C-alpha cells in the first residue's frame, strides 16, 4: 500500500445513516476528560474511588479557570459493583453512591459519563462483572463470559441500564470490549461465525440507533472491538473498520497509547508516533478525521501509561488536537497540571479547535509507521497551521503542503536543535516535531514555546559498522566514534512473518523491565560503557526496538567499540534484528 505524499480522505464506500436516524458525530469539538490512567486495575493496582474522582474534578476546575475547555467527565472501568450489572457504584469506594459525584459534575459545568463493557464480563476468573441471572440465556464464548447481543436477555438489560443512567443525568457512554462472535457453541455450530457476528452487530446497531433517537443529547464512544488493526504500526495493515458504526457512535477510537515500531530516542515521542499512525490508518479506512478519537493524550503514574507522569505532555497535547477529531479525549491524572499548564492547554485548544469545527484538517507525508516525516495541516482563509514530525534517527528536509506566504513562524518545537523553516520545506532534527503558522497564524500571540523535556541533538550521523554478526535473536558490530561525540545505538526486530516483533515482560507492578529482555550493550577495551536506556520500563503492550546512548565522557577517543543486542524473550520466537549506531552532538 503506497503512502508517500498521500492525503487521506473518506473513501467512496461510506455508509450513510438511514432516513429518520439521529445523526452521530458532534457538530463542534468537545472535550472529554476520562479517568483511566489516573487509576488502573488491569496493569496496576490503583483503584477508582470517590477521592480520586473529586481530586480530578478539582484539577479540572483549575484548568477551566485558566480558559481550558472541558465538557464531559467520564468515569472509566472500575466504578461499578461487580455483582449488580453496571447499575450500582462500588460501595467500598463510593459509600454514598453516585449522587454526590453527579451533582459535582453539574456544579463544575460538566456532563457525566460512564464506561461500559459492550458484551464481555471478563477474560479470567473471577471476572470483573458477575453474569446476572437475566443474562444466562445470552452467555457464550470467552470462558462463557461474553454475551450474545441477539439472543437472550442481555441486550435489553444493557439498554435499560443505559436509560436509567441517562435519566439520572449521565450523557456519555464509552463502550469497550465488543465481541460480535459471542454465541453458545451450539449456535456457532448451527449458524457459523460470520452469521453470528452479523446478527449480533445488527441487534446492537439497531438498539443504539433507537437509544440515540430517544436520547438525542447522548455521546456514544466506541473502543476495543469495533475494527482497526491496532496491534502494531506496520505499513502492512488491513482495512477493517466497518463504517456502519459511524451511524450510531460519535467517535471510533484507534488504540491505547503504546510505543510505535519506529525506534525513538525519546520514549514518549514513540507513543505520539503510534497514535499518529493509527489516525492515518483509520483515515486510510475511509473514516473522516473528525470522527477518529486518537486517545493520544494520557498522563499519569500508573502502569497503563508506563509511569509517565506528565513527561513530554506538551507535544502530546498539540498532536492530539492537530489530528482533527471532534471528540477530544484527555486521559489520566490532570492534577499533575498546574494553573500555568492550564493557560497553555487553553491556548492549544483555541488554536486548533476552530479548524476541527470547520473540518479543515488533512494529513500529509508518509505513513508514520515508515519512520519518515509526516504531519497534519489545518487551513483557513487567514492562514495555516502545520504540525510536522520527523520520527527518524537523522535530520531531514521535509516538503510542506503550504501555499507561498511571506509570513511564516515557528510556533512550537522541542528543545535543542532549532528547525529551519520556509514555505516549501522544513529542516528537522532527529526525532523532532514542530508547529508552523502562516498568515494570521504567524503572529506572536500564537507562540507555544518549546518542549524543554524533549532534547533534540544538533547532529546525529550514522557510523560505519564492521565485523557485523547476526544471530536468530541477536546482532553485534564494531564502530569507531569520533572524538567528542556521544554514541547512540538503535536496534529493532521483525518476526518471522515480517511484522514488528513486539516483546513484553508484563505490566507493573511485577513485570520485567524491558532492559532485561532487550539487552543492548557497548564495550570498549573490555569495559562495558554506561548508557542511558529510556526504554527500560515495564511495558505491558510490548516493544519491538531499543535505543541507548553512551555520553562522550564514557568513550576513549580512537578506540573501537563493540556494540551488541540480544533478545531474551521468555517466549519462543525468532526473526531478524537490525543494529545501527550514530555519533551524536548535543
Is the distance from CB of 542 to CB of 573 less than 8 angstroms? no
From 3, 26, 12, 16, select the one nearest 359 (Cα to Cα): 26
* Residue-wise pLDDT tens digits, 226-270: 998 899 999 998 889 999 999 999 999 999 999 999 999 999 999
How distant, in Å, are the alpha carbons of 162, 211, 553 from that of 166?
A: 6, 10, 62
CA–CA dist 583, 223 (Å, integer)? 42
Classified as helix, coil or strand, 333 is coil
Confidence of residue 571 (pLDDT cuts 50, 70, 90): confident
Q: For the residues 410-426, what does the mean pLDDT come to?
A: 95
Residue 221 has pLDDT above 90, yes or no: yes
Upper half-sphere CA count for residue 442 (Cβ side, 13 Å): 14
Do the Cβ atoms of 308 and 269 come closer than 8 Å? no
Residue whose cell numbers read 548535543: 586
pLDDT tens track for 119-162: 999 988 889 999 999 999 999 877 789 999 999 999 999 999 99
Confirm if 302 and 39 have CB atoms less than 8 A apart: yes
Q: Name the phi and psi angles at 531, rounded to 5.
A: -135, 150
Q: Is the per-residue pLDDT at 441 higher than 90? A: yes
Would you give the DSSP letter of residue 243?
G
Residues whose CB is less than 8 angstroms from the CB of residue 502 and which lie 6 or more positions away in sequence, other chains included: 231, 232, 261, 541, 542, 543, 544
Would you say 501 and 581 are in contact if contact means Cβ atoms under 8 Å apart? no
Q: Is residue 1 predicted with pLDDT exceeding 50?
A: no
pLDDT score of 13 = 30
Superfamily of the domain at 30-350: Aldolase class I (3.20.20.70)
Q: Which residue has the higher pLDDT, 554 or 15?
A: 554
In this prediction, residue 10 carries a pLDDT of 31
**CB distance 534 to 267 below 8 Å:** yes
**Size of the chain, expressed as the number of residues it contains:** 586
Cα(193)–Cα(267) distance, integer angstroms: 40
Q: What is the pLDDT of residues 75-91, one digit of tens each?
A: 999 999 999 999 999 99
Q: Of 546, 533, 543, give the one whose Cα is nearest residue 504.
A: 543
Angle at 102 between CA 97 and CA 104, to 5 degrees: 115
CA–CA distance, 381 with 423 (Å, rounded to integer)? 16
Q: Which fold has domain 461-585?
A: Jelly Rolls (2.60.120)
* Best CA proximity match to 409, nearest among 396, 399, 421, 425: 421
Q: Cis peptide before 509, with omega less than 30 degrees from 0?
A: yes
pLDDT at 15: 38
DSSP strand pairing (396-399 vs 425-428): antiparallel
| pLDDT, mean of residues 376-402 | 96
Q: Kindly state the average pLDDT of the residues 191-208.
A: 97
The pLDDT score that the predictor gives to residue 21 is 57
- 203: enclosing H helix or E strand: helix 193-214
On the question of pLDDT at 528 being above 90, the answer is: yes
Residues 282-292, mean pLDDT to the nearest whole number: 96
Q: In whole angstroms, what is the distance from residue 531 CA to residue 196 CA?
A: 53
Encode pLDDT of 3-38 as tens digits.
443 333 333 233 334 445 567 889 899 999 999 999
CA distance 532 to 551: 9
Q: Enumerate residues 6+ apart whose C-beta is below 8 A from 19.
A: none
Quote the cell numbers at residue 544. Answer: 519491538
pLDDT at 22: 60
**Angle at 35 (CA atoms; ends 37, 211), nearest 5 degrees:** 130
Summary mean pLDDT of the chain:
93
Q: Tell me the C-alpha distance between 366 and 375, whole Å.
A: 8
- What's the pLDDT score for residue 280? 97
Cis peptide bond upstream of 126, omega within 30: yes
Query: What phi and psi, each to the nearest 5 degrees, are found at residue 286?
Result: 90, 10
Closest CA to 73 of 52, 90, 93: 52
> What is the pLDDT, as a whole number, of residue 17?
41
User: Which neighbouring-strand residues pair with 73?
Assistant: 33, 112
CATH of 365-457, one of 2.102.10.10, 1.10.3720.10, 1.10.10.10, 2.60.40.1180: 2.60.40.1180
pLDDT of residue 404: 85
Of 73, 81, 80, 37, give the one whose Cα is nearest residue 54. 73
Q: What is the pLDDT of residues 342-351, one digit of tens each?
A: 999 999 999 9
Domain boundaries, the chain: 30-350, 365-457, 461-585
Nearest to 204 by CA among 229, 184, 177, 228: 177
40 has pLDDT over 80 = yes
Share of the chain above pLDDT 90, in %: 87
What percentage of the chain carries pLDDT values higher than 70? 96
Residues sharing a CB contact under 8 Å with residue 381, sequence separation 6 or more, in sequence order? none
Contact 252, 176 (CB under 8 A): no
Angle between helical axes of 313-322 and 267-284 (0-180°, round to 10): 10
Q: Contact, 345 vs 319, CB < 8 A? A: no
Q: State the pLDDT at residue 141.
A: 74
Residue 261 contacts by C-beta under 8 Å, 6 or more apart in sequence? 232, 233, 234, 369, 492, 500, 502, 544, 545
- Of 23 and 386, more confident: 386
Amino acid at each position: 500500500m503506497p503512502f508517500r505524499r498521500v492525503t487521506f480522505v473518506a473513501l467512496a464506500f461510506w455508509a450513510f445513516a438511514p432516513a429518520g436516524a439521529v445523526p452521530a458525530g458532534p457538530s463542534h469539538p468537545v472535550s472529554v476528560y476520562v479517568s483511566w490512567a489516573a487509576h488502573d486495575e488491569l496493569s496496576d493496582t490503583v483503584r477508582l474511588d470517590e477521592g480520586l474522582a473529586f481530586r480530578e474534578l478539582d484539577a479540572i476546575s483549575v484548568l477551566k479557570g485558566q480558559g481550558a475547555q472541558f465538557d464531559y467527565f467520564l468515569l472509566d472501568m472500575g466504578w461499578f459493583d461487580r455483582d449488580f450489572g453496571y447499575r450500582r457504584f462500588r460501595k467500598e469506594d463510593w459509600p454514598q453512591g453516585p449522587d454526590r459525584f453527579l451533582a459535582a459534575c453539574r456544579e463544575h459545568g460538566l456532563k457525566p459519563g460512564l464506561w461500559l463493557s459492550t458484551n464481555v464480563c471478563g477474560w479470567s476468573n473471577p471476572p470483573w462483572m458477575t453474569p446476572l441471572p437475566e443474562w444466562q440465556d445470552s452467555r457464550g464464548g470467552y470462558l462463557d463470559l461474553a454475551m450474545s447481543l441477539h439472543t437472550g436477555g442481555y441486550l435489553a438489560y444493557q439498554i435499560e441500564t443505559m436509560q436509567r443512567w441517562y435519566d439520572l443525568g449521565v450523557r456519555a457512554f464509552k463502550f469497550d470490549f465488543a465481541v460480535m462472535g459471542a454465541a453458545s457453541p451450539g449456535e456457532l455450530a448451527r449458524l457459523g461465525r460470520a452469521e453470528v457476528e452479523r446478527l449480533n452487530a445488527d441487534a446492537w446497531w439497531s438498539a443504539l440507533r433507537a437509544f440515540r433517537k430517544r436520547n438525542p443529547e447522548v455521546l456514544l464512544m466506541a473502543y476495543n472491538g469495533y475494527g482497526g488493526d491496532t496491534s502494531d504500526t506496520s505499513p502492512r495493515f488491513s482495512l477493517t473498520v466497518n463504517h456502519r458504526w459511524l451511524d450510531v457512535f460519535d467517535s471510533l477510537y484507534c488504540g491505547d497509547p503504546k510505543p510505535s515500531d519506529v525506534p525513538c530516542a525519546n520514549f514518549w515521542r514513540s507513543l505520539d508516533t503510534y497514535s499518529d499512525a493509527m489516525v492515518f490508518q483509520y483515515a486510510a479506512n475511509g473514516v473522516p478525521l473528525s470522527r477518529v478519537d486518537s486517545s493520544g493524550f494520557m498522563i499519569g503514574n500508573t502502569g497503563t501509561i508506563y509511569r509517565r507522569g506528565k513527561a513530554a505532555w506538551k507535544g502530546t497535547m498539540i498532536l492530539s488536537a492537530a489530528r482533527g477529531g471532534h471528540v477530544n479525549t484527555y486521559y489520566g491524572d490532570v492534577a499533575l497540571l498546574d494553573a500555568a499548564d492550564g493557560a497553555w492547554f487553553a491556548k492549544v485548544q483555541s488554536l486548533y479547535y476552530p479548524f476541527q469545527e470547520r473540518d479543515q484538517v488533512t494529513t500529509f507525508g508518509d505513513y508514520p509507521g515508515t519512520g519518515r516525516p509526516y504531519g497534519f495541516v489545518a487551513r483557513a482563509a487567514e492562514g495555516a497551521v502545520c504540525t510536522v514530525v520527523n520520527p527518524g534517527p537523522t535530520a531531514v528536509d521535509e516538503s510542506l503542503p503550504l501555499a507561498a506566504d511571506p509570513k511564516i513562524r515557528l510556533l512550537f518545537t522541542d528543545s535543542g536543535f532549532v528547525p529551519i523553516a520556509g514555505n516549501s520545506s522544513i529542516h528537522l532534527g532527529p526525532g523532532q516535531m514542530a508547529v508552523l503558522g502562516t498568515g494570521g497564524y504567524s503572529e506572536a500571540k500564537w507562540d507555544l514555546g518549546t518542549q524543554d523535556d524533549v532534547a533534540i541533538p544538533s547532529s546525529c550521523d550514522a557510523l560505519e559498522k564492521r565485523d557485523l554478526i547476526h544471530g536468530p535473536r541477536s546482532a553485534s558490530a564494531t564502530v569507531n566514534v569520533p572524538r567528542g561525540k556521544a554514541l547512540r545505538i538503535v536496534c529493532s526486530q521483525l518476526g518471522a512473518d515480517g511484522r514488528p516483533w513486539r516483546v513484553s515482560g508484563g505490566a507493573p507492578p511485577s513485570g520485567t523491565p524491558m532492559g532485561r529482555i532487550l539487552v543492548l550493550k557497548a564495550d570498549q577495551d573490555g569495559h562495558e560503557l554506561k548508557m542511558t536506556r529510556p526504554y527500560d520500563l515495564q511495558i505491558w503492550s510490548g516493544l519491538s526496538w531499543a535505543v541507548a546512548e553512551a555520553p562522550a565522557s564514557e568513550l576513549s577517543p580512537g578506540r573501537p567499540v563493540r556494540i551488541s543486542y540480544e533478545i531474551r524473550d521468555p517466549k519462543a520466537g525468532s526473526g531478524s534484528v537490525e543494529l545501527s549506531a550514530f555519533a551524536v552532538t548535543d
